[in-house]
Structure 1
Amino acid sequence: MKHISILVPYDAVPAAIVDPRYMFTTINHFLAEMGKEPVFDVQLVGLAQQVQLVNNAFAVNTDKLCSDIEKTDIVIIPALAGDIKISLERNKELVPWIIKQYENGAEITSLCIGAFLLAETGLLNGKECSTHWLFANVFREMFPEVILTDGSIITEGDRLNSSGGAASYWNMLLRIIERYAGREMAIRASKFFAIEIDRKSQSPFIMFNGQKKHEDEPIKKAQEFIEENLAEKISIEDLATRFAIGRRHFIRRFKKATNNTPAEYIQRVKIEAAKKHLENTRKNINEVMYDVGYTDVKTFRTVFKKITGLSPIDYKHRYNRDGAVN
């Protein structure tokens, strides 16, 4: 039987505590119905016997204090809410406990922006990690030694696992079930909880918002120029000349300020604009393509799918009510 310790940090998102507990105990119930022994021993673990969450709207009673747990098999770190730096400070006593459990052989899994607490341990340095797409830039600023994988639903390796944004954690929980209870149980859980199993990417949900929280004013003006001239064919040489910066130096500064190369930024801005057209207008794919400065259908489709994980027509069918009807 695998012992699962679901952490109850201060400022945790209640659903990210309740849902894992419900899912793992449901698997035990399924197994009991089949005359089999339970696979998971699930406990809520924290720094206090009762943890108040969401401005005291919810109270979670823990089963054990962290100090009572010498060894566990799986640690689940739920998503955090509010100011992330304040949350990390309030939960700093959890850091040595998480490190200790990892050193004792436990598998550590973060859900959504619980990745910040996992990264705070230093265990992720030099390793890959997933988190909510909206917090990617903040994560990179706070933990530059961690390799953040854009768009991934799940990242796994060296007993350190993480999931992407919000409901992505359901897919992470299914992976744990498959690993310890088998594929049959994972499929049954996916059907019971109505989850699309084996979902790989959160790319269709990402809303690109160029990183402008930096002090490099010429680069910020270059970003604004790109965003204001979507229909134009913009080259890196043109941008470097316009803002009087050498090409190689411009690329380095742009990447440092925005976490994207100029070419990546241009693509992402154009595709984000295309997504909005596909979501909110009756324009066909070619009209949208020309609006955002592409003239070759194959290139546009290739770039769009690379960034969103969907073809333009599939994206329109998914997010545009009129497009789905038509």
Structure 2
Amino acid sequence: MTISRIFIGIIDYPGALQSAVQGLREMFVAANRICVQQNLNIAFDIEIYNVEQVATFSNKTFLKDKQQSNSLHVVILPPCLEGEYYICPDQHLKAWLLEQRSQGVILCSVCAGAFILAACGLLDHRPATTHWGLTERFNKTYPKVHLDSNKILINDTDLMTAGGLMAWLDLGLELVAQFTQARIMRLLGKYLIVDTGSREQRYYRSFVPALNHGDQAVLTVQHHLQVNFAKNISMRDLAALSCLGERTFLRRFVKATELKPSQYLQQLRIQKACDRIESSHDSVELIATKVGYEDVSAFRKVFIKTMGLTPREFRHRFAH
């Protein structure tokens, strides 16, 4: 019986989340057991390599033993827990990743790993995702990438990117489904007790506005909005509070926060609504009023657009 082997390399770069590095390996080991149980002649062969090892590898192959060498099918850049290696990755790693891609290897990243792919120029004009908390930095550093941090996973054929720190689970399941069968992936999810249903990263997003931009006039307005978000506030009011003309205030506010005042206020109100939904038993109607929406229908539409869930679905998923 011939076994079709899928060779996957996991790059353990400095600061990589070790639970993801080892968790991915163990996930594929579990997938192998299920394949055996289901009489499917496919097996994942996993190797973990650090950056120093990558610098010594042949560009085209990984040596599996003295008699045989096999090209990789997939390379995974896991999430980062500490440090900033991903911001300025090693030149040897970047060159090797580019060579692997030229050989048809699928390159994958999780969370901050997307920065490494982007540093290689591989994500330019391509859809990608990363952790929502890294969105601002990513967009400033790599403006050519079509970043959608609402998504937990984007499979763009030869490039796969996953969002949050724990999105390595989503990536692993996607790879198992792609190289075996969807039913194997679902069986693996049941075995691991992991949800294999569709979800989005924005379900978990929190609005954390930048406060360290150095513009005191804008900061004064931000502090005011934090307290008075439920009130009717006009652009004229905010400009007056900042002691700036309306056009100047708008320009400086957008520069500091990357949002228009109306967008900022909307994000702040939805975040306050999420906090209330999670921590209280108040009705959706009451919460809408408390965060500044007189029209409950309008509140629901904005909430769904922002969070990807209805207020009721959000409560069901996150409220204790």
Query: Does the TM-score normalized on the shorter chain lie above 0.5?
Result: yes
Distance across 1 between alignment mates of 2:60 and 2:13: 18
Q: What number of residue pairs does the alignment pair up?
A: 306
SS of the residue corresponding to residue 166 of structure 1 reads coil
Partner Cα distance (1:257, 1:79) in 2 = 28
Structure 1 SS opposite 2:107: strand
Looking at structure 2, the residues matched to 87 and 150 of structure 1 have their Cα atoms a distance apart, in angstroms, of 18
* Per-residue deviation, residues 136-159 of structure 1 (Å, max 9, x unmatched): 223233333333213211123251
Q: Which SS does the other structure have where 1:167 is aligned? A: coil
Deviations along 1:57-76, one digit per CA (max 9) or x if unpaired, are xxxxxxx8761462422110
Counterpart in the other structure of 1:41: 45
Offset of residue 220 of structure 1: 2.7
Rounded to whole Å, the distance in 2 between the matches of 1:66 and 1:130 is: 30
- Aligned counterparts, 1:172-187, within 5 A: 172-187=171-186
In 2 relative to 1, CA 175–251 (structure 1 residues): closer, same or farther, beyond 3 Å? farther
In the TM superposition, 1:1-326 aligns within 5 A as 1-48=5-52, 67-68=57-58, 70-71=60-61, 72-84=72-84, 86=85, 88-89=87-88, 91-157=90-156, 159-243=158-242, 245=244, 247=246, 250-321=249-320
Change (3 A) 1:66 1:306: farther
Give distance in 1, aligned partners of 2:154 and 2:249.
Answer: 32
Whole-angstrom CA distance in 2 between matches of 1:90 and 1:118: 10
Paired residues of 2:203 and 2:307 also in contact (CA < 8 A): yes
Structure 2: tracts of 5 or more residues without a match:
62-71
SS in 2 for 1:105: coil
Separation of aligned partners in 1, 2:49 and 2:121: 21
Distance 2:90 2:128 in 1: 20
TM-score (norm 1): 0.84
Aligned to 1:110, the other structure's residue is in SS state strand
TM-score of the aligned structures, taking structure 2 as reference length = 0.86
**Compared with structure 1, are the counterparts of its residues 8 and 69 closer, same or farther at alpha carbon in structure 2 (3 Å cutoff)?**
farther
Alpha carbons 2:254, 2:260 under 8 Å: kept: yes
Deviation for aligned residue 1:285: 2.0
Q: Is the 8 A contact 1:237 1:247 kept in 2?
A: yes
Question: Aligned-pair RMSD on alpha carbons?
Answer: 2.4
Once residues 191 and 316 of structure 2 are traced to their aligned partners in structure 1, the CA distance between those partners, rounded to angstroms, is: 26
CA distance, structure 2, for counterparts of residue 258 and residue 92 of structure 1: 33
Secondary structure at the aligned position of 1:156 is classed as: strand
- Once the 2 structures are TM-superposed, how far is the Cα of residue 317 of structure 1 from its aligned partner? 3.4
| Separation in 1, partners of 2:140, 2:35 | 44
CA–CA distance in structure 2, aligned partners of residues 261 and 157 of structure 1: 31
2:255 match: secondary structure = helix
What are the ranges of 5 or more consecutive residues in structure 1 without an aligned counterpart? Answer: 50-63, 322-326
How much has 1:222 moved relative to structure 2?
2.7
The answer (yes or no) to whether the contact 1:66–1:97 under 8 Å persists in 2 is no
1:152-198 deviations in Å (ceiling 9; x for gaps): 11123251211111222211221111111121111111211122214
Shift of the 125–246 alpha-carbon distance from structure 1 to 2, 3 Å rule, reads: farther
Q: 1:88 to 1:203 in 2, by over 3 A?
A: closer
Q: What does residue 54 of structure 1 align with? A: none
C-alpha displacement of 1:77: 0.4
SS of the aligned residue for 2:232 comes to coil
